[in-house]
Amino acid sequence: MKYFRSPALTAGILAGVLALTASLSSQAAPAVPESSASAALAPAAASGAAPAASVLPQPPGIAAKAYLLVDVTAGGQQLAGSDIDELVEPASLTKLMTAYLVFDALRAKKVSLTQTCPVSEQAWKTPGSRMFINPKMQVPVEDLIKGMVVQSGNDATVALAECVGGSVDHFVQMMNDQALTLGMKATTYKNPDGLPAPGHMTTARDLATLAQRLMRDFPADVGYYAIKKYHYPGTPVSNENNRNTLLQRDPTVDGLKTGHTDAAGYCLVVTAKRDFPNLSGRRLLSVVLGAASEAARANESQKLLNWGYTAYEGVKLFDAGQPAATPRVWKGSSGTLKLGSASAIVVAAPAGDAAKITTEVARPEPLIAPFKQGQAVATLKIKLDGQVIEEVPLIALEAVDEAGFLGRAWDAMRLWMR
């Protein structure tokens, strides 16, 4: 007996298999963990000897109402903190959000650095720290930024708020809207300068979030925070020194902002970047709130930074664009998908404990093409002694298009038979 294979029948069978597996694939795919030691740590992890459990370093005593230390290079990993979610008055740390909105307006070309702004009566009469501008002046935006950042001028801050927002009230609404966008859920602004006002509150955690986004979103603009001296023509030269005294003391410090009121105490958000043989440009961020004096806020911040750099080491697990995993892909023009990050993946580990770090990739299974380059696909869980200390999103480093009809049909049949 002879059997004849009908092309139409074959196509029909394949189409049926495709439909069946498409239905199965449309259901929620479970996350599949893939454990491994990172490439950078593989020799130590493969040695066979089980390392002793890590003991996390204990921070020094910090004389402040609240404090927080994060490793910016390690994706904002928290190294130490106390009362980081307690509501506090931010004083002139408020100006970090004012600067964020001004930088955003510059990027959107709503204002320019050379554009001049009038000095209103309200700006001129704003009490507290000053740039010493007056209503007879038309001051360029860039000089107002320097007056706000270096001299912490409340008059410069209000002038910027009026220039960018049209009015102080509208600018304050912009501040609160931006705080929600950045995830600063505990923060409420009542003014752009930080003078005491009922309900004008934030937390150490929210300030760290804001500072990191300010540096990440406006890398070309945060250089203003490293300026040590500035004064505007016609204003007192004696007012030229940046109130962040760590800029004078520590050459690795390049920002960010001081704050002080009687209620808030002395506050400082400071960042430093130091080079190490295994990791250049490692950046830490310290938030110290409610210190007893100007000297105390500088000393406690310096203590916290120095401790962070010595107690924890930065460990680069993967370079920017380096695949952290290459899982199987179905129905695609390629059989695999390279997963990684657009920036280097770095983690902070207690000094000497780098060999105890392992990684695990959590992803859907099966992975069905197509995938766009940059599409979020999986999560890299970074563990120390089996405990997750950081999670990093993994994206598709390259696009994988959908395969042709026969390729999809073949993979559909193989998936169905699994």
pLDDT digits (tens, 9 = 90+) for 349-369: 999 999 999 999 999 989 999
pLDDT of 322 higher than 90: yes
| Residue 131: exposure state from Cβ atoms within 10 A (0-12, 13-18, ≥19) | buried
129, 152, 286, 301: the active-site residue: 152
Helix axes 405-417, 7-25, angle to 10 degrees: 60
pLDDT in tens, 400-409: 998 888 878 8
Is 152 part of the annotated catalytic residue set? yes
Residue 82 pLDDT: 97
Residue 351 pLDDT: 94
Q: Which of 20-29, 40-49, 77-86, 332-341 has the lowest mean pLDDT?
A: 40-49
Residue 219 pLDDT: 96
Longest Cα–Cα distance of the chain, Å, equals: 107
Is 95 part of the annotated catalytic residue set? yes
CATH for 66-291? 3.40.710.10
pLDDT in tens, 145-180: 999 999 999 999 999 999 999 999 999 999 999 999
Cα–Cα distances (Å) from 334 to 18, 52, 313, 327, 361, in that order, read 18, 42, 38, 11, 20
Q: Which of 25-29, 41-45, 183-187, 388-392 has the lowest mean pLDDT?
A: 41-45
pLDDT in tens, 193-238: 999 999 999 999 999 999 999 999 999 999 999 999 999 998 999 9
Tell me the average pLDDT across 386-391. Answer: 91
Residue 339 pLDDT: 96
Residue 21 pLDDT: 45
**Which one has a higher pLDDT value, 279 or 32?**
279
Phi and psi of 360, rounded to 5°?
-140, 130
Residue 413 pLDDT: 84
Buried b vs exposed e over 196-218: b needs ≥16 C-beta within 10 Å?
eeeebbbbbbbbbbbbbbbbeeb
Residue 417 pLDDT: 81
Tell me the average pLDDT across 263-274. Answer: 97
Tell me the average pLDDT across 302-319. Answer: 96
Question: What CATH architecture is 26-48+318-417?
Answer: Sandwich (2.60)
Tell me the average pLDDT across 53-76. Answer: 92
Residue 34 pLDDT: 61
Structural tokens at position 218: 């406006």
User: Residues 137, 142, 148, 150: is their CA dihedral positive or negative?
Assistant: negative
Tell me the average pLDDT across 130-144. Answer: 96
Residue 55 pLDDT: 77
95, 146, 303, 331: the active-site residue: 95
Q: Which residue intervals of the chain bear CATH 2.60.410.10?
A: 26-48+318-417
pLDDT in tens, 5-53: 444 434 444 444 444 444 444 444 455 566 554 444 433 333 344 556 6
How many whole angstroms separate alpha carbon 100 and alpha carbon 92? 14
CA-nearest of 365, 377, 387 to 341 is 377
Average pLDDT, the chain: 89
Residue 414 pLDDT: 85
Buried b vs exposed e over 64-74: b needs ≥16 C-beta within 10 Å?
bbbbbbbbbbb
Residue 121 pLDDT: 96
pLDDT of 284 higher than 60: yes
Q: Which residue intervals of the chain bear CATH 3.40.710.10?
A: 66-291
**Percentage with pLDDT > 90 across the chain:** 79
CA-nearest of 20, 15, 24, 17 to 366 is 24
